[in-house]
A and B are shown apart, each in its own frame.
Chain A
Amino acid sequence: MIELIQDYWLYFLIGQYPNGPLGGLVLTLLLASCGLVLALPLGIVLGLARVSPWRWLRWPVSGFVFVVRGLPLLMVIFWAYFFLPSVTGVKTDQFATMLIALVVFDAAYLAEIVRAGIQGLPRGQMETARALGLSWSRAMRLVVLPQALRSMLPSLVNQFVSTIKETSLGYIIGLAEVSFIATQINTQVFTKPAQVFGILGLTYFILCFGLSRFAYWLERRLARRGLPVVAVTEGRAAARKASA
């Protein structure tokens, strides 16, 4: 076990870098961070469209969110992998493909968190802002959204945990993230599959458990300050509950 870690820790962390492409745990984290950072603005836009007063905007976006949430992430990845290049004519690499799939997929889930956050605020906030003469978009931007985003903070951390877990599916299209590296190590060592995958699991656990404890702490802190919290242990489940 110790020997295994001694031999492969660097490969596990960064892949073949600097002699080859970056990989391993660092790539997992990079992918998850980029995914969340890019998905968040898109998620907010989609979430706003879902609560907007204009039907022509609300319906198609709701349809899109519904379709994406009804599909497995793997399906979205396959579409991005096989279909995007044939439509756009640009051959994207695995990282970009995975990033696109993650952004589209997570944005649909974030849209539901945003929607729940906005609808969780007392209606009086919007009504007061409108009565003061602000337009819908200004009222949303200056009054409703800042409050909603604050109460969504714990959900966002939980979403980051989900995103880290989702990056593991990059394995299927041959992206050298940490799960892929683990199977590579397993093939090289060959005799210790339980240890290799045990270490893989432990790595994810330390990362995700730490982050979800942080989300729990944030939730407590916000609750103490009397802010409404979009109730959550798992971002997704809460968003689903809110939509049911």
Chain B
Amino acid sequence: MAGGIHVGEQILAVRGAKKSFRRPSGDPLVVLESVDLSLREGELVGLLGRSGSGKSTLLRLIAGLSKPNGGTVEYLGRQVAGPPSGIAMVFQSFALFPWLTVLENVEIGLEAMGVAPSEMRSRALRAIDMIGLDGYESAFPRELSGGMRQRVGFARAVVTHPNILLMDEPFSALDVLTAETLRTDFLDLWSEGQLPIKGVILVTHNIEEAVQMCDRILLFASNPGRIMLELKIDLPHPRNRQDPMFRALVERIYVAMTARQATAATLGRAEKFPGTGIATILPRVSTNLFAGMTEAVAQPPYSGRADLPEIAAQLQLEIDELFPVAETLQMLRLAELEGGDIRLTDAGRRFAESEITEKKRIFAQHLLAYQPLASHIRRVLDERPNHEAPKSRFSDELEDHMTPEAAEATLRSIINWGRFAEIFAYDDDEQRFTLENPT
């Protein structure tokens, strides 16, 4: 028995759910590809993956906040069309109404159900009591710390006595200590059967959190979002993070994630956009993180090869932050990812060990050689007689392949990296690229 509750009847069934959006060029952008999922009474299921892997999209399909383009979502045997009563949601950003007090925020869910005022008050007070918010009833959300705000979020969700609780990265906006307190408090209530809830779905990008809390983990892959691995966690509660079994599960997830990502990075991208190669969405990664990561891996005890969970813990990076850095280093041939490890290449080692001018030289070399968009911009600037080009020249080009927001983010990244490498300059007032760095 995983939690304190008997695992029983199936309460939710997702079959072949698909979700896609229309791109400006007309062809659809698939964010979620044919996903199956079931939730039984007493189960806590985790959806784990990086941003853009479609896990939040799936959660919104279940919540009835958006409609699938294909497949079905069935709750208690009935097709979900619109937010069903009996499914409540906890949000990453808490989503409290800032103009309502704690008590009013908790009551509002009952108000929407049409509960009588007196019953509303007593049920809300009971929920506030249980979640540990006693004494804060008349406080406004802005007066509370993040942890207390999320407690209000929980109280608002459970006060309606939902069958299913959906949690969208509920702890990721909190500091480490607060998140841990809330997690254990929640697990205590859940495993003691005190919560009026039959099943929980938790979206997270924190691997250890998933292993600590869930009975079952669905690991998501990106581009397009899909489930790549299902993992049952049979460890008894409370789970100890130092337990070798716990560590082994964490390591297994890292291996799975690096294995898939490695193939996607080397094959997938070139394949998807033959001929151009510039149409890769680039993550916003600060150049400080490239230096910090390579330097950490180069030093003992790693000396050039590090276990990803270990380096992530040391640098205090979550996978949402870790993988973009590691993958960009891989794209620039400064590092390689395999078997849950990161290994520096020769160039990566030199990059880590040299001082700033040399670092910039190596970075520039690799950026121009291996990042098609950077070399494309540089080539255009070289070819033009005045060595200038407006930003729109490139954003128009990118928007053929991605959303305007993604194009803007990608250009922002390449501008940032290009500035560090000093391969081109950019004037934000004029919105134009030039070759002239101020001297």
A and B form one complex: no
Residues of A within 8 A of B (CB): none
Residues of B within 8 A of A (CB): none
